Amino acid sequence: MTRITADISMSLDGFVTGPDPGPKNGLGNGGEALHIWAFSDDPDDRHIVSESTARSGAVVLGRHLFDIVDGPGGWNDDVGYGAQEVGKPAFIVVTSSPPASVRLSDLDWTFITTGVQDAITSARRRAEDASGASGVDLDVVLMGGGTVIGSAFAAGLLDVLTVHLAPVVLGCGTPLFTSDTPRTALKQLSLIQTPNATHLTCAVG
């Protein structure tokens, strides 16, 4: 069964970037500390990266995040979503308007201009097609940014939320949850502690 999942790193004070994020400063000031776990040699961290990317049938991201990963200092063969871990899932971008050009033209990009729900619907179709082709159940993964995941969470569109809680306090930045986020009871599915993060996975709803 295809699940709608969100997977994101967060600081102890609830931020998914540091202050002043942008195309040349993707994670904001100090935000690199959020993702130390993803590049560590710790076997548990490596297993989490491998396991999560292996289940990716389609990936949803926002336009700001797309501009960062597709920018000159963004993804390449060594650094990127599931680099050296998986093949190349479909990427669905939530945006008000498609970009004029794409640097990472070897990846499968779809640009949705009608909101997060339509992007998830498109991603579900792609993930189901990929599941049928591979014979393995694959998920839709919302990788960010915080606004996309927060909006999907608030709209009740997620089945699973995974937060990689990094041992850092950023003080400000992009929050995952806001005062408008509805109160929601989650069911803890797993909790894995490593030297670099606490990996918490919950069922939503």
The model's pLDDT over 40-73, given as tens digits with 9 standing for 90+, comes to 999 999 999 988 888 999 999 999 999 999 988 8
- Percent pLDDT > 70 in the chain is 97
Q: Give domain 4-17+28-176's CATH number out of 3.40.430.10, 3.40.50.300, 3.20.20.150, 3.40.50.1370.
A: 3.40.430.10
pLDDT in tens, 176-193: 998 889 999 999 999 999
Per-residue pLDDT at 52: 84
Whether residue 13 has pLDDT greater than 70: yes
Per-residue pLDDT at 77: 74
Q: Rounded to an integer, what distance in angstroms lies between the CA atom of residue 107 and that of residue 87?
A: 10
Task: From residue 20, give the alpha-carbon distance in Å to each of 28, 121, 158, 189.
Answer: 5, 31, 28, 34
Q: Rounded to an integer, what distance in angstroms lies between the CA atom of residue 126 and that of residue 171?
A: 38
Per-residue pLDDT at 84: 55
Structural domain boundaries of the chain?
4-17+28-176
Model confidence band, residue 22 (pLDDT cutoffs 50, 70, 90)? confident
Per-residue pLDDT at 81: 72
Apex CA 160: angle with CA 94 and CA 146, to 5°? Answer: 40
Per-residue pLDDT at 40: 94
Q: Global pTM?
A: 0.92
Per-residue pLDDT at 45: 95
Model confidence band, residue 98 (pLDDT cutoffs 50, 70, 90)? very high
